[in-house]
Chain A
Amino acid sequence: MPEQRAAITGLGTYVPEKILTNAELEKMVDTSDEWITTRTGIRERRIAAPGEATSDLAREAARRALADAGVEAREIDLIIVATNTPDMLFPATACLLQESLGAERAGAFDLLAGCTGFIYALVTGGQFIAAGGAQTVLAVGAETLSRIVNWRDRNTCVLFGDGAGAAVLRAAPAGYGLLASRLGAHGAGGPLLCLPAGGSRRPACRETVEQDLHFVHMNGREVFKFAVKTMEEGTRGVMEDAGLSVADIDFLIPHQANIRIIDAAVKRLGLAPERVLVNVDRYGNTSTASIPLALQEARQAGRIKDGDNVVLVGFGAGLTWAAAAVRWFDARRPE
């Protein structure tokens, strides 16, 4: 019997209401709309309301995904939340979500793989379905990055935004679902993108606060190079595993960090820009939420159709990267 593939049978997204524009950022740090748009393609990003935490964004996205899939919370076997900004160090945000959804039967854990986390969660959930360990998995990417960026550091604060996306995974009908995936890591690059303090290496204390060590620290240029290379290699890798050529790729959903990274990778792949979704202009880099936000937008715009070959690809802190090739299953297609 061939391995049982998993398909996304429902998707849901949620972004906070508050929009922060480049013009507003100009009043906060020494930057300009012109610099931000030419170097990143970002025009605005969403910011969580005071008191709104990652699990709150996750809950809204998850409810919408369940409704979209026609699945009750009680039917969920496993919840995986990919996040870099959990509500707290523990318990896991996935457990907070289990409680607020009323997903009584579900096991729940968080997954930390930088901005690549959603693809890692999708692949992990897919493995549970393939192995028969779960029938219904909820894979979530949710972030409140606005809480961990240094709003005095123009090198990083202009880049990030808040948001959440959730996917319901179930066994795919024959011919559909997750065709191939590759997960990668380059631990040597860890210091290039990190939040240095607040863990066991440097517990929180007065000095760590004074030295701004509870904020995101990043070497943008090195991350840029890693991103362009791994987006190309990851995409080519899953294409090879799934037996797809560039011409077979109907749509590419890249992690939305920077339009310049997307453009460089897409050019190297030789893919037509019409086959690539870009929404970084409106949300900035929402880390683990970026892939589901982009996927949902492509689907709602009718740009992804039943049977399409879709590649998801991303990179992030770790450093990590991942890619997945999916034959898109539209649960609502006419029979």
Chain B
Amino acid sequence: MSVFDKVKSIIVEQLGVEEADVNMEASFIEDLGADSLDIVELVMALEEEFDLVIPDEDAEKIRTVGEAVKYIQDHQ
């Protein structure tokens, strides 16, 4: 599975959204209906899935699906 596909399935599970809505441009808050704490939980799930530590300063900059995918690719 590609990083995008794994991230997508975590987002679908965490935010309860449709797979079709999860594209690289989608913003967690504006497009996927997340609030700040949904993002904290999402970051936790990504950290566990990809065995990463995402510091708060970095997490704050991850606003879209694409930014999350890129962050994971850059830090793996």
Contacts and interface: CB of A to CB of B under 8 A. Distances in A.
A222 interface: yes
Given A219-B56, A221-B56, A222-B56, A39 B36 contact: yes
A260 B37 contact: yes
A186 to B, nearest CB: 14
Interface residues of B, number: 9
Contacts of A39: 35-37
B40 interface: yes
Interface of B: 35-37, 40-41, 43-44, 56, 59
Contacts of B41: 228, 264
A39 B41 CA distance: 13
15 contacts: A38-B35, A39-B35, A39-B36, A39-B37, A219-B56, A221-B36, A221-B40, A221-B59, A222-B56, A224-B37, A224-B40, A225-B40, A225-B43, A225-B44, A264-B41
A260 B38 CA distance: 9
Interface of A: 38-39, 219, 221-222, 224-225, 228-229, 260, 264
A228 B38 CA distance: 13
Contacts of A222: 56
Specify the main secondary structure of chain A where it touches its partner: helix
A38 B35 CA distance: 9
B35 A228 contact: no
Contacts of B59: 221
B43 to A, nearest CB: 8
Among B35, B40, B44, B59, residue most surrounded by chain A Cβ atoms (within 10 Å)? B40
A267 to B, nearest CB: 9
A229 B56 CA distance: 16
Given A38-B35, A225-B43, 17 more contacts: A39-B35, A39-B36, A39-B37, A219-B56, A221-B36, A221-B40, A221-B56, A221-B59, A222-B56, A224-B37, A224-B40, A225-B40, A225-B44, A228-B41, A228-B44, A229-B44, A264-B41
A39 B34 CA distance: 11
A222 B59 CA distance: 11
Nearest to A225: B44
